[in-house]
Structure 1
Amino acid sequence: MRHRPPSLRRLPAVLTLVAVLLGVAVAPAANAADRGTGFGTWAPLSRTGWHGSMRVGDVHTYCIHPGLPVATGTTTDHGITTDVNGLTPQQLISINYLVSTYGQTGDAVQAASVGWAVKAIVDRDTTLHSWGYGGNELTEAIDYIMRRASPENSTAIQQRTVRYLAEAEGMPVPRVGGSLTLSMDEDDPTRGAVTLDVDPTASGTLRLENAVFADTGSSERAGIQGAATYPIISPVTASDDGRPYVARAAGTFTVRSAAIRYYSTPGQQESAGPAEPTTFTLTTQDASPRPVRFSPRIETAATIDSRGRFVDDVMVSAGDGVWPRHSDGTFVVVSATADVYRTNAFPAEATEIPSNLSPVAHLELRTDPKIGPAVYRTVSAALPGPGVYTAVWRIERTSQDPASVVNFPTRYFWMERFATPAQTEQLAFSPPPADPEPSPTATPTTVAAIIPPTPPAPPLVPAALALTGVSGTSLVVTSGVSAGTIAVGMYAWRRGRRRTQPLTG
């Protein structure tokens, strides 16, 4: 079935109804006050009055306006307030203490005592003289009334009232808020402390982020009361891949409220119920990021190359497995140096460098900020001559770049052992070149200077030959034959001539 939309003439009435309903939803709750716990007459006006609590729902409330009629009518709950009838924070904290600590009770003596103490805190003079008492002593005023309302309990009520009043007036107004700070140890950024400064009456719970309490290993601590300092540990594992990191702390605390839950009854009494504790939170974080500290280590493998240089392949790594980075992700630079020493024989490995040795060469390295841990090759200048060489590497905090210093433990110093096998190499004597034939040994002679022997003259080679078509070798052979023929002819001629000469005696 279809329905027609409501007439526009009915719209104002609908809106009015909605407004009324909304008003009811946000209006303070109203309930009739009931007789609570105490003594006297439960009526707006009576000869003895009512001395004890009034119940509004499940809450025991107490008069804060001496002299007004008892609140037997409809009572409105206005909620928690710190501003009512000009009461000071000290009065409010005292009243709240009493109605919270002792007021929620079914004990008539206790409730009556709370009622008298609360009225005395609010307006002592009116409390003393509202029922005809003319003196200035609270206990006498209580007895003046209670002898009519409950004579057998008068003394007990007087005594409790005095005690309750002393306790309430001794309650200091708590400080809401405070401070929370984190500190960092200079020698070890993973350690520090969290310091809490709050009111002595404040209690609550502290929670840590990127840190734990040193004594418990937990990131949360409950049941904290007042100001305190707790050592903490902020482990490197809280870092993002070696980058600087921040520890944080937060706490939730409560203090007794200098406030009351305020109730009023038109033309009758105003009363106070307990106000919940005031809750506040504190947060903090490191004033500056915690740098990741590390202990770099070196492993080496040395050789001597063909040019007589000391070559060292140096593996630089983080001793604890985490190489720190800067906030931009680049690796912290490590600078290391090594001195090279020469001995005549292989030295014994030792923790100290022999005092009679001096460096003969020097090596340096700086790690690459884009690479970090890796193997770095270092090469010395040419070594001074044959011998056994060993290098000793060291890393010192004081030799690092300013940007890297914070990542090294205070007073950090690391050095290799002297003459470790991987760092010790021999440069041997070069033997003289071998001769093809043994040379005669010369007899030592004392001379002013040694003159080197004259080298043999190179064979005579013609500078150039005529282009005869005959090779140089053939020409030599032919010349030899011709010379022989000439010699034979000369011999025959001389012999023939001797035969033709006359013989003489």
Structure 2
Amino acid sequence: MSSSAPAPLPLVRTAVAAIACAILIAAGAVLFAPPAHAADQGTGFGTWAPLSASGWHGSMVVGGVHTYCIRPGLPLPTGESTDHGVTAAAAGLSPQQLTGINLLVTTYGQTSDPVQAAGVGWAVKAIADRSETLHSWGYRGESLAEAVRWTMNHVSPAHAEEVARLAERYYAEGMSAAVASSAAQISLTTDPADARRGVVRFEAGGPGTITLQNAVFADDGAATLADARPGADYAIVSASPTGDGAPYSVDARVEGSAGYAAAVRHITTDGGQDTAGPGGPLRFSAETTDATPRPVLFSPVLSTQVIDAEVDGGPFVDDVRLSVEDGVWPRAGDGSFVALRATARVYRTDAPPAESMGVPADATPVGDLSLTSDPGRGAGVYRVESGWDLPGPGVYTAVWQISAKAQDAGVAAHLEPGYAWVEKFGVATQQISILAPPPQPTQTPGVPSAPPAAETPPAAAAAPPALAATGLDDSTARAGGIGVAAVILGCAVLAHVAQRRRRSALP
């Protein structure tokens, strides 16, 4: 018995691959082909059939949307229709025709009123091809209203006049529709006196919604403004998004509608009409950011402490603490802290002054001090020593200040316009005293100075009390004293000898 030989493996694999490719091609044709819909009878008057004596005057519904004929003279699109989506290339129509048709179909065409739908249908066909529209049903004149009445008297005589009136009105409105531009631009400006403030404005073919980042609108504090008008200035207030003092930028974006797009939703049917649905508004958008980053503003202040409250002379030495009352210490574009300059004037008074907002009349200026903060640390304590010495006894008081006008332009941009902070006069921690030397005796002119008084010698030691008077002179007294002493000594010797004899006599 003979049997068939199995097919070679390479041939099997080739066949399988071919079948798979065919399946993929077929699937692709289904997946990527434009969607197809059957056109349904919409709103209007006449006969819903591809060809009829009086025709159909109104809308055709495709995918739930009312569409209108733009190829007058062709059969009604009752067959399978293909939706090509919104396009600016429909049936060879010009941008102005597409804009007018889009306006009518969008504004008036999505209706359930047959009179209104019929008026839209006539106007749309007339914009697409006026001659074919006027003469398709036997009318020989050039009036759109008369052509509508001529035809509608055979379809719905009771509504012929109103449909004609609406057709003329809609046609005029559609033909006068300007082709809008999607071009738009938006700009930001910074107030030169206050970097936090500025203006945003845009130019476009219609109103739009402006959205800000790192800023809000000055009127209501919101970051978004709807229905903004092109060409109008809107004040803004900006703020740093990070809080680290680094320069920052404001971003602005506008989106809106410039009218009706020069486009329609294009539906085609083989052997039948092309129809047009709403093409939507013409959208525009634009965005921008600050051309130059905005500096962070702050309110710097300081406090001070002299090193020694009493000195014999020398320079004025002060420790100055720089700090921020409002905001944070700003940074330059390279990340360093801005270098702030503070200055002081030192005054002399005869006595410690009381605190006051101004400098008293009896205070005499004696010199100036200044410091510039370190870009590496910004706020902190800085020791300041005058380059001159205190001129003599008195009380010396420094009055420090920080002002915008004393700064470089780049630093002044970080301060409020006209910013000035001034220390009170007479702050106790700002006073240094030099005491006057003790007063010296004064001499009357022409009178010689008295010689210094001789020192008084110390008093002699008191003499011992004298003996009672006996008539003896001093020598006799001395001799008597010596004799008495000898007697006493002799007695002592005799007593000692007797004592020894008694001891030796003892057994």
Fold match, TM over 0.5?
Answer: yes
> 1:37 pairs with 24, 43, 47, which one?
43
Question: Counterpart of 1:253?
Answer: 256
Larger mean Cα displacement after TM superposition, 291-300 or 276-285: 276-285
Q: Name the CA shift for 1:226/1:360 in 2 (closer, same or farther; >3 Å).
A: closer
The counterpart of 2:369, out of the listed 353, 358, 363, is 363
Aligned pair partner of 1:27 in 33, 36, 59 = 33
Match of 2:223 among 219, 225, 244: 219
Query: For the Cα contact (< 8 Å) 1:304–1:311, is it kept in 2?
Result: no
**Secondary structure at 1:166 match in 2:** helix
Deviations 1:236-279 (CA, angstroms, capped at 9, x unpaired):
4x244111111112233344321001111122211101123344
Question: Residue in 2 aligned with 1:376?
Answer: 382
Partner of 1:284: 288
Counterpart residue identity of residue 420, structure 1 = V
Q: 1:66 and 1:419 mapped to 2: Cα distance?
A: 97
Aligned to 2:233, the other structure's residue is in SS state strand
- What's the CA shift string for 1:421-469, capped at 9, x where partnerless? 3323332202379xxxxx9x9764289xx9xx9xxxxxxxxxxxxxxxx
TM-score, length of structure 1 as denominator length: 0.80
* Secondary structure, counterpart of 2:402 in structure 1: strand
Q: Which one of the candidate residues 44, 53, 59 is aligned to 2:65?
A: 59
Note if 1:392 corresponds to 2:399. Answer: yes
Instruction: Please give the secondary structure, in 1, of the residue aligned with 2:42.
Output: strand
Equivalence for 1:485: none
| Contact 1:52/1:108, CA 8 A, preserved across alignment | yes
Task: State the distance in 2 between where 1:92 and 1:446 align.
Answer: 125
| Residue in structure 1 matched with residue 423 of structure 2 by the alignment | 416
Post-superposition offset of 1:119? 1.0
RMSD in angstroms over aligned alpha carbons?
2.6
Correspondence for 1:405: 412
Bigger shift: residues 279-288 or 143-152: 279-288
Instruction: Report the alpha carbon displacement of residue 97 of structure 1 after superposing the two structures with TM.
Output: 1.1
Aligned to 1:294: 298
Q: Which residue of 1 aligns with 2:106?
A: 100
Unmatched 5+ residue regions in structure 2?
Answer: 1-8, 452-507
User: 1:24 corresponds to which letter in structure 2?
Assistant: V
Contact 1:305 1:311 in 2 (8 A): no
Runs of 4+ in 1 over 6 A off after TM superposition: none
**Gap change, CA 1:249 and 1:442, over 3 Å in 2:** closer
Q: Structure 1 residues 444 and 163 mapped into 2: Cα distance closer, same or farther (>3 Å)?
A: same
TM-score, length of structure 2 as denominator length: 0.80
User: Paired residue for 2:270?
Assistant: 266
CA distance in 1, matches of 2:113, 2:413: 67
Separation in 2, partners of 1:421, 1:412: 25
Give structure 1 stretches of 5+ with no counterpart: 434-438, 454-505
Tell whether the 8 Å contact from 2:349 to 2:362 is kept in structure 1 after alignment. no
Partner of residue 166, structure 2: 160
**Equivalent residue number for residue 112 of structure 1:** 118
Cα contact 1:239–1:292 (8 A) shared by 2: no
Given that residues 333 and 401 in structure 1 are in contact (C-alpha distance below 8 angstroms), is that contact kept between their aligned partners in structure 2? no
Q: Is the 8 A contact 1:385 1:427 kept in 2?
A: yes
Q: Are 1:133 and 2:139 an aligned pair?
A: yes
Residue 321 of structure 1 and its aligned partner are, at CA, apart by 4.0
Deviation at 1:7, TM superposition (A): 4.0
What does 1:417-436 correspond to in 2, within 5 Å?
417-431=424-438
For residues 171-214 of structure 1, give each alpha carbon's deviation from its aligned partner in whole angstroms, at most 9, with x where no partner exists. 322221311222222222222222122212x44x3322211222
Q: How many residues align?
A: 437
3-state SS, counterpart of residue 326 of structure 2: coil
| 1:9 alignment counterpart | 15
Match of 1:307 among 313, 329, 337: 313
Identical residues among aligned pairs (%): 47
